Amino acid sequence: MNNLVCLSVDAMGGDHAPQAIVDGVDIFARQATGKVSKILLHGQQEVLLPLLAAAPDAASICEIRHTDSYVSMTDKPSQAIRRARGSSMWNAILAVKKGEADVAISAGNTGALMVLGKVLLGMVKNVHRPAIAASWPSPDGYSVVLDVGANVVCTAPQLVEFAILGEAFSRIAHQKASPSVGLLNVGTEDVKGNDIVREADRLLRGAGLELNYAGFVEGNDVSLGRTDVVVTDGFTGNVALKAAEGTAKLAAYVLKESLMSSPMNRLGAFLSQGAFRKLKDKMDPRNGNGGLFLGLGGLVVKSHGNTDGEGFANALRVARRISAANYMDIIQQNLEQFAKHQKLENQ
């Protein structure tokens, strides 16, 4: 296994691109010495050159791949695909397809990135739909939740494929030896939920997979880290992830207001500011940044669109770890076993 990977970065994608992207590469470059061969930086040369001049660590590792066009954050996927050829996002993924880079990273338009990823890289054999996996804070680190937005409607076999893809992601991105996998539902009893989750539960139990399947979990179990991986459809997963982010923001807001409400509280807050920093770090979505588009025929990492340099550096770390770990090999056995099982059942 060769750990020296090459990353392919869409420098023009994201709400604060290209500044936040170059900032992120700079932060990452300082910590990744000897682990990365180089970074291909796709975007407008005349914009990127001055930014790199102010970021020598990034400059030392980057190779600019010039293109004038880029996908806008507000393009619909259907527009994006028509306009995308030759854009910074397109070129970032194309470099992976050509074997020049190991993984593509973009903070750009999610829908467009998904569509271009599918068009350029195709799907992994035996996977029918890609999924976006997010890392969600839990007491001992992070849980992996997928899908958080690629598929608003899912079938039961798709949920099983997500379980396989997410389990491998948890192994690599969060160094879990044998990640437990839960299926998100409205209760843990086997009569609960809709037909799709009940059927997925049956398949996960009966398909002969090498998987530490723990059954149904509920919404509160995600933050409490009851399982390392939580599988759900992209509608529920997206809403739940954002509901958790909103709740963390509300708690921070209420705490701040209360701490400022009296001199005694303000003094206390000053003395315990170290603790608040820990809380902020833990709940900060930037620290879990770097969702993987699982199931594509090549590696594509999606950063939050409104990320800053710190968050984008995290996405680059996830990308490096994933590409150094041979993700594709890990998922293959379970995917083949599941395809075989489905073929037998549907005969």
Chain residues that interact with a second copy, rule: CB under 8 A: 76, 137-139, 149, 152-153, 184, 186, 189, 191, 193-194, 218-224, 232, 234-236, 238-251, 253-255, 257-259, 261-262, 264-276, 278-279, 282-283
> Least distance in Å: CB of 212 to a second copy?
21
223 vs 332 by CB, closer to a second copy: 223
CA distance 136 to 235: 16
61 vs 80 by CB, closer to a second copy: 80
240 vs 301 by CB, closer to a second copy: 240
Amino acid symbol at 147: D
> Least distance in Å: CB of 227 to a second copy?
13
Residue found under tokens 């968050």? 311
87 vs 238 by CB, closer to a second copy: 238
> Least distance in Å: CB of 328 to a second copy?
28
189 to 52, 192, 215, 220, 227: CA distances (angstroms): 56, 6, 9, 15, 16
Residue found under tokens 């056995």? 333
> Least distance in Å: CB of 139 to a second copy?
6
100 vs 189 by CB, closer to a second copy: 189
- Pairing relationship of beta strands 103-106 and 299-302 according to DSSP bridges: parallel
CA distance 341 to 167: 19
Q: Coil, helix or strand for 342?
A: helix
- Pairing relationship of beta strands 229-231 and 180-184 according to DSSP bridges: parallel
> Least distance in Å: CB of 138 to a second copy?
7
CA distance 102 to 48: 22
96 vs 184 by CB, closer to a second copy: 184
> Least distance in Å: CB of 54 to a second copy?
33
Q: What is the CB neighbour count within 10 angstroms for residue 211? A: 21
Tokens of residue 65, six digits: 């791949």
193 vs 290 by CB, closer to a second copy: 193
225 vs 328 by CB, closer to a second copy: 225
CA distance 37 to 53: 20
Q: What is the CB neighbour count within 10 angstroms for residue 199? A: 16
Q: What's the alpha-carbon Rg for the chain, to the nearest Å?
A: 21
Which residues on neighbouring strands pair with residue 213, listed in sequence order? 181
> Least distance in Å: CB of 302 to a second copy?
15
Nearest to 57 by CA among 21, 24, 30: 30
Mind giving me the DSSP string for 279-310?
A: HHHHH-GGGG--EEEETBSSEEEE--TT--HH
Q: Angle of helix 156-173 relative to helix 327-345, nearest 10 degrees? A: 160
> Least distance in Å: CB of 29 to a second copy?
30
> Least distance in Å: CB of 217 to a second copy?
10
Residue found under tokens 């001199």? 263
49 vs 251 by CB, closer to a second copy: 251
